[in-house]
């Protein structure tokens, strides 16, 4: 049987762990949003580079 003091420590530890996991998930989501945003901002430039590469490969073959 677990004493009341142990339950308090267990619940406190569980609460801290869940908060840390939530913060990590929030950070991952923010990084994904930033990555998508940067990709969308650079998408026209990336497409132009891809077209140039495709044209040069087509000419070489």
Backbone angles phi, psi at 2, to 5 degrees: -95, 135
Residue 15 has pLDDT above 70, yes or no: yes
User: How far is Cα 51 from Cα 58, in angstroms, rounded to an integer?
Assistant: 10
- Provide the token pair at 29: 């989501």
Q: Which residue, 18, 22, 20, 25, is CA-closest to 10?
A: 18
User: How far is Cα 39 from Cα 33, in angstroms, rounded to an integer?
Assistant: 10
Residue 58: per-residue pLDDT: 58
Each residue's pLDDT tens digit, 16-59: 999 999 999 999 999 988 888 888 777 777 777 777 777 766 55
């Amino acid at each position: 049987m677990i004493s009341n003091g142990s339950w308090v420590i267990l619940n406190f530890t569980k609460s801290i762990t869940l908060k840390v996991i939530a913060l990590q998930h929030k950070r991952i989501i923010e990084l994904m949003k930033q990555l998508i945003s940067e990709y969308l901002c650079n998408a026209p430039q990336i497409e132009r580079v891809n077209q140039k590469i495709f044209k040069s490969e087509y000419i070489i073959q």
